[in-house]
Amino acid sequence: MSSQKKSYTKFVMLFWTAVIVPVLFVVLLMYAAANSWAGFPPLPSFEELENPKSNLASEVYTSDGKILGKYFYQNRVNVQFEEISPNLVNALISTEDERFHDHSGIDIRGLARAILNLGKSGGASTITQQLAKMLFNETPKSGWGRIKQKLQEWIIAAQLERRYTKEEIIAMYFNRFDFINNAVGIKSGASVYFGVSPAELKLEEAACLVGMLKNPSLYNPLRFPERTQERRNVVLFQMKRNKVISDVEFDSLKQIPLTLNYSKVDHKDGIAPYFREVLRADLRTLFSEKDKDGNFILSKENGDPYDMYKDGLKIFTTLNYKLQEYAEFAVKAHLGNELQNDFFNNLKKRKNPPFSSDLTDKEVENILNAAVKRSERFLIMSGKQCGNCGRRGKILEEIEIDGQKYVHCTAEDCEHDTKVYEEAEIWKTFDVPVPMKVFSWRGKIDTVLSPMDSIRYYKSFLQAGLMSMDPQTGYIKAWVGGIDYEHFAYDHVMQGKRQVGSTFKPFVYAVAVDEGYSPCYEVPNVPVVFKKGQFGLLKDWAPQNSDGEYGGTVSLKYGLANSLNTVTSKLMQLFGPERVIEMARSMGITSHLDPVPALALGVADISVYEMVGAFSTFANKGFWTKPIYLTRIEDKDGNIIVEYIPETREALNEQTAYVMLDLLKGVTSYNYNKFKGKNVGGTGIRLTFPKTDKRPYGGITYPIAGKTGTTQNNSDGWFMGVTPDLVTGVWVGAEDRSVRFSTTYYGQGANTGLPIFGYYMNKIYADSTIKISKGDFEKPEKPLTIELDCNEYQKKNNFDNSSEHSFD
């Protein structure tokens, strides 16, 4: 063989070697990448591709279809392609992947351009490749690691293109992208930054969000609005270049300033935070319940329990968004603008504010020390609560690092070691002033206080609890558990129980009416003496009227309307505590009730939740319906997991319930007192007074049955309001019972709880979109056997009760 031929053969072999070897190398690399050989990590499985693992936020809905809040590790809620604005789709394709509809996951033309220009003329990653990249949880630190991941991204991109339509790929891409600031996915992004759904985004808003895709931290509209606007205009230019918008539209749109409607997303923020926290606890219990065999009662197909933080559940509640807004407004209007100022003025006269002057220094010290030990600062420093992981963290073990004690905490998205301090060290920190932000009704105040002084400061605030429900369905419509969840997390609707005072009296009266007594029945207005030994008493007891006035006889209606203790005591003496407790239990009261005469005056601690449910019995024709706040829960695909039907039972006959409403209407109207010879307004009469600057919550002319309540030393103020369609309970008081108004003028329920009810109902009545009855309560079809007209009653009984009932 000639040397020339040998040289040619050698050249051909070298040529093909140079061509084939790289190709074979690439093929082998791709095979290794696809099959996790040679150090390549496993690819996401087909199951993960078809059901990509996302931490989907669970959404809580009101009865009128609005989102009340979310539970999440990531604030992500997926949407379908049809729910995405065409503006978003056009902006995405124009900016990120112009040939999206022409390739199968890898843009060869773009890849060649990127290689030839060493990436200077733009990247080559397609939308599908970017989606594939999102499926990897970690970014490789080395260059070789990045190359290996890039190869796997190509493989995944090709698989995605085979398994999904282009529309599905775009939806998956938008659903997975993290727009930062607790906005994961396009639904959250559109809502957090612009307050709309993805379908409602304007063109310039869509361009802003697509601009963030390049680097959301760099183009964060909250921190860098000018830079973000420039990036938005680049997206608009790309849309013009791709003939999606015209030159005129581009010139007009680029001039529009960046305008956000930002809504901070936090579990503590938003409407009904106390309710959402109670609901969260209930859901946690619900999803952890097991049957006798140890299986979760509510579980997914694989037997695992549902997780409200990442399973994308839809939780449908009974709350009405508007009524909830009006309830929160009412609490703020009265406490924030009126009552708290009166209370601060009242505290100025105290020797040891905010505590009552009859407390000793030692008693005050004990109250403050108990508060210290319950504080988050003390719990964290003593190793009883996690630091960074917060209340959701679970303490796994106690460890020691360099001779220092720590507790190891963990949560789903958190792991942390919390340092543990000696108790003596902790107590010292409570006397050291530190910078802090404290609550005020006018907004947070930057100040310097010692933690101990901040505890005293916070104890000077009046708290409130309000619940409102539909008496027919049992559906709770509004729930205000306190004045500010961030600073006062204790719920005063269901969790808190306080003395109910005179709001308990209707249970006593209901027994009398059930026994056939008329509201017109008259009782001597004189102190009633419960003798020693009677009902287990250790000594004689004679309750007094709060105003100290006695004389003559008064009707039951007048006695309840003006909350006379003499009348209620007489009825308690007639029927006894056990019969009254039986009545309260039938109407849904589950709290502890002592069988003592003082029960008639409301010495029992009962929750707002129980009281509202009980009073609803009157408006529901004698049927007690357990208050509920959940209707159903669905999984992310819309399958119903659980549905709720209210529990109901007959507690009173229809006549008794109606007569009780007539009695309770006397609280908000005028009633004749023949001893005084004039009409006297009930304790809730100010609801009907014309509105003034000092009484903007009045002016209600529609029928309302109600009851005020004030407890010992004015520690608690109550108002229960009943209308045909809505029953509402309000409690007002401080965290500690020793923090209270010094006079009944300010501390009575008519001045603390009633105005909140007035503000609330005025808002509801003024809103024509809320369908609520403004008429009177429906009368039973059967004729009443109890006379409600006191003139007729007097004629029938010849001005004498003796023919009907006897006190003996």
Task: Output DSSP code: residue 541.
Answer: B
Residues 6+ apart with CB under 8 A from 226: none
Whole-structure pTM value? 0.82
Tokens 């006035």 belong to which residue? 549
- Residue type for position 769: T
Mean pLDDT, residues 67-93 taken together: 89
Tokens 């010495």 belong to which residue? 603
Q: At what angle do helices 203-212 and 186-194 cross, to 10 degrees?
A: 120
Distance CA 532, CA 541 (A): 8
Helices (H), 652-770: 654-665, 744-747, 749-752, 754-766
Task: Output DSSP code: residue 26.
Answer: H
Q: Place 413 in a pLDDT band, splitting at 50, 70 and 90.
A: low
- Residues 140-157 have pLDDT tens digits of 555 555 556 566 677 777
Q: Place 732 in a pLDDT band, splitting at 50, 70 and 90.
A: very high
Is the confidence at residue 791, as pLDDT, over 80?
Answer: yes
Q: Cβ(568)–Cβ(601) under 8 Å?
A: yes
**Between these two residues, 148 and 709, which has the higher pLDDT value?**
709
Tokens 């007729």 belong to which residue? 792
- Residues 632-681 have pLDDT tens digits of 999 999 999 999 999 999 999 999 999 999 999 999 998 767 667 777 88
Cα 109 to chain centroid distance, Å, stands at 52
| Distances, alpha carbon 672 to alpha carbons 62, 197, 551, 669, in Å | 45, 59, 15, 10
Mean pLDDT, residues 74-102 taken together: 90
DSSP 88-141: HHHHHHHHH-TTGGGSSS--HHHHHHHHHTTTTT-----HHHHHHHHT-SS--S
Closest CA to 206 of 53, 94, 367, 76: 94
> Is the bond leading into 353 cis (omega within 30 degrees of zero)?
no
Enclosing H/E stretch for 282: helix 273-286
Q: Cβ(229)–Cβ(446) under 8 Å?
A: no
Closest CA to 344 of 739, 709, 712, 717: 739
pLDDT for res 807: 42
Is the confidence at residue 800, as pLDDT, over 60?
Answer: no
Residues 6+ apart with CB under 8 A from 405: 383, 398, 399, 419, 420
Mean pLDDT, residues 572-588 taken together: 97
Is the confidence at residue 538, as pLDDT, over 60?
Answer: yes
Q: Cβ(794)–Cβ(804) under 8 Å?
A: no
Residues 6+ apart with CB under 8 A from 476: 318, 319, 467, 468, 469, 627, 628, 629
- Residues 238-280 have pLDDT tens digits of 999 999 999 999 999 999 999 999 987 776 778 999 999 999 9
Of all residues in the chain, the percent with pLDDT exceeding 70 is: 85
Q: Cβ(241)–Cβ(93) under 8 Å?
A: no
Contacts of residues 283-291 at CB distance under 8 Å and 24 or more positions apart, as own/partner, are: 283/71, 283/308, 283/315, 284/308, 286/642
Of all residues in the chain, the percent with pLDDT exceeding 90 is: 67
